[in-house]
Amino acid sequence: MKKNHEIDYKISGEEMQCIEIELDPNETVISEPGSFMMMEEGIQMETLFGDGSQNQGGVLGKLFSAGKRLLTGENLFMTAFTNIGTGKKHATFASPYPGKIIPMDLSLLNGKMICQKDSFLCAAKGVSVGIEFQKKLGTGLFGGEGFIMQKLEGDGMAFVHAGGNIIEKDLKAGELIKIDTGCIVAFTSGVDYDIQFVGGIKNTLFGGEGLFFATLRGPGKVWIQSLPISRLAGRILAYGTGTRKEEGSILGGIGNLLDGDS
């Protein structure tokens, strides 16, 4: 028997997706502050202190779980939406930037998922949103995500958001895949995560892809995003504050003039 609330859902949209959660009477969905879009009458909104799980263990447990969330850069509070009426009610949550919403049934994923920071969107009440420390020194220092990632635990539905298109891979035991550190969205607990030096002086100086990439070794599932928000933000910042990388000095000036940028 599941400990977490069982919720139904519908994902709408292509590049700017939103998710509609269907709640039976007394069912609850938890979300990160700022992801709420709309809800029907009969749903009560409540601010929770901590990670949203049902077994935080009193005041000290709530303080500890809230502190863990603070380490991952998340808000100390979460928001719970409960159907206090009769009949089915709906609450809708929106993704924060272009990309895809990924539904994850934790009961089919050994009850635990490791995710990048800021990826969690919403989940059935009872799902714990905590932290996962990277045990290897190199992973923490050079992994791009630091020592700490998000950890989702429970047996209910959880929903994470990632940028661009999403690729899901099933890694067999011992199978290895090398990924740009920012492109990792999530992986199951059985996957071994490490960092590898790119190597080669030309690759290091002129490759433009950074000095390190992540290695993920199976068995387990891996979700990969094509457009990390950090990459998108970096391109926008470079476009707005400097010359265009793809244009030479002469054509760049002419292009900017024709575009009305000069």
Q: Which of 76-80, 209-213, 255-259 has the lowest mean pLDDT?
A: 255-259
Please report the pLDDT score of residue 228 as a whole number: 85
The full 3-state SS of the chain, as one line of letters, equals CCCCCCCEEEEECCCCCEEEEEECCCCEEEECCCCEEEECCCEEEEEEECCCCCCCCHHHHHHHHHHHHHHCCCCCEEEEEEECCCCCEEEEEECCCCEEEEEEEHHHCCCEEEECCCCEEEEECCCEEEEEECCCHHHHHHCCCCCEEEEEECCCEEEEEEECCEEEEEECCCCEEEECHHHEEEEECCCEEEEEECCCHHHHHHCCCCCEEEEEECCEEEEEECCCHHHHHHHHHHHHHCCCCCCCHHHHHHHHHHHCCC
pTM of the entire structure?
0.77
| Confidence tier at 207 by pLDDT (50, 70, 90) | very low
Q: In this model, does residue 238 exceed pLDDT 80?
A: no
Domains detected in the chain: 8-245 (3.60.160.10)
For residue 198, what pLDDT is reported?
67
Note the pLDDT of residue 84: 95
pLDDT of residue 252: 53
pLDDT grade, residue 182 (50/70/90)? confident
Per-residue pLDDT, 143: 45
